[in-house]
Chain A
Amino acid sequence: MSTDLNDTHRPWLDPKQEPFIKIRGVTKRFGDFTAVDNVDLDIYKSELFCLLGGSGCGKSTLLRMLAGFETPTAGNIFIDGEAVANIPAYARPVNMMFQSYALFPHMTVEKNIAYGLKRDGLPKKEITRRVAEMIELVELGDFRQRKPNQLSGGQRQRVALARALVKQPKVLLLDEPLAALDKRLREHTQYELMNIQDQLGVTFIVVTHDQEEAMTLSTRIAVMDQGRFIQTGTPTEIYESPDSRFVANFIGSANIFQGHVITSTADHVVVRSAQDDTLQFTVRHSAELAQNTKVWVAVRPEKIRMLKDAPTTPGPNQLAGSVHDIGYLGRLSNYKIKLDNGKMIDVTHPNQTRPTSGRHLVDWDERVYLHWDSASAIVLTH
């Protein structure tokens, strides 16, 4: 018996695990517009799964198909092994938290939360008990008799969460749950959401367009664009090993150099820049690529080291340029470095020492030398 700790936390790696939600070839068209395009996805029990993508890429539509508010044009959805195509929204074991919260304006906080339990015909005592529990969990004790329009944005968000969770659904769908909150409250609520999810063990599927939010919250992320999944993986996989320029640019930022493969061995590839013949990159890469393949080398700004002195021995992954712009953010600074060949490079450095007499590590127009480890860059083929 395998009791590997990692595998209980990463059920998607274990082929014996049965996914809790299976999406198979699901397509949704509105007229001739395809909002969701032939999507396949497995989501496991107790995951906190994020659908991440720009506005209009079909995230909400996919979520609404899971909830039963939209019918797929093609494909099948299985929840807990059951095909849900013919199950109406009110009978599905899922619940949804709406972007607008959709609280019932004519009911108090308590009545809003109790609504779903009443529909199940539970005894009054049981309803009262569970509502009270839920109100405590989301810390709304002082507001139980208020109407939604007498609450702040953060309080409404918590009522919506409580209302959706009180029925203990197997799956909770959250459509941009934090988008309406201000930055500070959003960050705080992110952790709250994770704690609650952890406590209750409910499977969460969260839609968001905020990549930081997705990175913080999720066990896994699916990056969406124009109705398709571009890449699915853990936050680390998505960030450190994006498999396309789109993902590399969409999640964080990346410096991308176009080039051709010169040599490719089992453990590294050498790429010559298409823009500058003298420039060569060595990248540790597991897959072998044919010579002359057109590739892109991507490096994250925080993985580039910046020095004021020229390197003593020339080698791969070395660049030189001058400081074009400095963005001081306090804990770190973003530098725009203009390379000798004219290309702009983003470099991020933490401000580890306190600048004395108001001067930064480097100054405008100062000459700097850039360098990164061959394991820090990645090669992209599309």
Chain B
Amino acid sequence: MKPSTVPASTPSLRQSSGRYLQTKWKGLIIAVPYLWLVLFFLIPFFIVIKISLAESIIASPPFSSLLNWTEDGALQLSLLFDNYAYLWEDELYYKTYLNSIKVAFICTLICLFIGYPMAYGIVRATPTQRNILLILVILPFWTSFLLRVYAWMGILADQGTLNNLLIWFGLIDEPIRMLYTPFAVYLGIIYSYLPFMILPLYANIEKLDMNLLEAAAALGAKPLITFLTVTLPMTLPGIIAGSLLVFIPATGEYVIPDLLGGGNSFMIGKLLYSEFNNNHDWPVAAAVAVALLILLVLPMMLYQNVQARQVGVKT
């Protein structure tokens, strides 16, 4: 630890008044994001919860009010948990949840296995190469996400680029069905979310002191052992950050399963969409959304926990 250079003298009057101003400003600055979150996150969230506890009716809006006046003039609060029970009872819902988590999990794992060596390679490249490689990772963000998914439709279609290419090379005689299969969904999600894995990993691996790896080697650790005992534990925060950045949005992904998976893929985002727009069952749709959120908040809290522990380790 570097020796502290803060003089131990008592703060002057000016300093302490400066500090007072600072705390006042600090409070204000912190208030802004809080206000933002309350206004645009917490309040809408409570509205969604409210809808999820209501009854579906044919009206506008298509759900009942929670507060009603009874005939004898008392205020009545009617909370309906039927929608949640329904999610539990109907196989479709929890199977879709499980499927979403499975897809997101596998995609996260594959992203990690592709992204880790890539991030490591970028860190180890020369400074000029490094900048080019980083730009290449970020470049896809400059075109619309939707456009890129549509591009994949063109590539994967029966008469698409990939099949034509394979036939032209004589590797296959008939087009392989790729579009509207789970494969296309996996591919689309991995492709789209890979940068979210690479960037936090890059930021983390870049901070890794290469002397540590040399120290391990000097102590007799072969490269694989060095990786397992030093590199991996030291880059765990990056692995967790990247994994959550892929896993959480991938679980709720709607566009990719809809466009690339067609009718064959059941992911929770798609179900949500059809409850809302096709069935017009807002309360059930809201319950689906709330359940999804709870499902995703859990790993998030886990991450917070691990990070807090990491802070204790890394000064």
Shortest distance between the CB of B239 and any CB in chain A (Å):
14
A95 vs B219: C-alpha distance when bound (angstroms): 7
Q: Report the count of interface residues on B (CB-CB < 8 A).
A: 22
A272 within 8 A of B: no
B230 within 8 A of A: yes
Instruction: Return chain B residues, CB-CB under 8 Å to A67.
Output: 214, 218
Q: Which of B267-313 contact A (CB under 8 A)?
A: 313
Known: A98-B211, A98-B214, A100-B209. A105 touches B313 (CB 8 A): yes
Instruction: Return chain B residues, CB-CB under 8 Å to A164.
Output: 218-219
In this complex, which of A69, A90, A167 has the most chain B Cβ atoms within 10 angstroms of its Cβ?
A90
B216 within 8 A of A: yes
- Which one of A7-15, A114-122, A256-264, A302-310 contacts B? A114-122
A214 vs B215: C-alpha distance when bound (angstroms): 24
Whether the pair B209, A96 counts as a contact (CB closer than 8 A) is no
A102 within 8 A of B: yes
Instruction: Return chain B residues, CB-CB under 8 Å to A73.
Output: none
Instruction: Return chain B residues, CB-CB under 8 Å to A91.
Output: 220
Instruction: Return chain B residues, CB-CB under 8 Å to A106.
Output: 233-234, 313
B-contact 0/1 string along A77-111, CB 8 Å cutoff: 00000000000111100111010101111100000
- Which one of A32-40, A147-155, A217-225 contacts B? A147-155
B-contact 0/1 string along A59-84, CB 8 Å cutoff: 00000000111000000000000000
Q: Which of B54-92 contact A (CB under 8 A)?
A: none
Whether the pair B214, A105 counts as a contact (CB closer than 8 A) is no
A152 vs B2: C-alpha distance when bound (angstroms): 9
Given contacts A100-B209, A149-B315, 11 further A-B contacts (CB under 8 A): A89-B217, A90-B223, A91-B220, A95-B219, A96-B218, A100-B211, A119-B225, A120-B220, A147-B313, A163-B215, A167-B219
A105 vs B234: C-alpha distance when bound (angstroms): 8
B13 within 8 A of A: no
A89 vs B215: C-alpha distance when bound (angstroms): 10
A169 vs B250: C-alpha distance when bound (angstroms): 51
Q: Report the count of interface residues on A (CB-CB < 8 A).
A: 29
Whether the pair A149, B1 counts as a contact (CB closer than 8 A) is yes
21 residue pairs from A and B, CB less than 8 Å apart: A67-B214, A67-B218, A89-B218, A90-B220, A90-B221, A90-B222, A90-B223, A96-B214, A96-B215, A96-B218, A98-B215, A100-B209, A102-B211, A104-B216, A115-B216, A120-B220, A149-B315, A151-B1, A164-B219, A167-B219, A167-B220
Checking A89, A96, A153, A167 against B1 with a beta-carbon cut-off of 8 angstroms, the contacting residue is A153
Shortest distance between the CB of B185 and any CB in chain A (Å):
37
Minimal Cβ-Cβ distance residue in B for A94: B218
Identify the 6 closest CB pairs spanning chains A and B, nearest first: A116-B219, A102-B215, A102-B211, A119-B220, A89-B217, A96-B218
Instruction: Return chain A residues, CB-CB under 8 Å to B211.
Output: 98, 100, 102
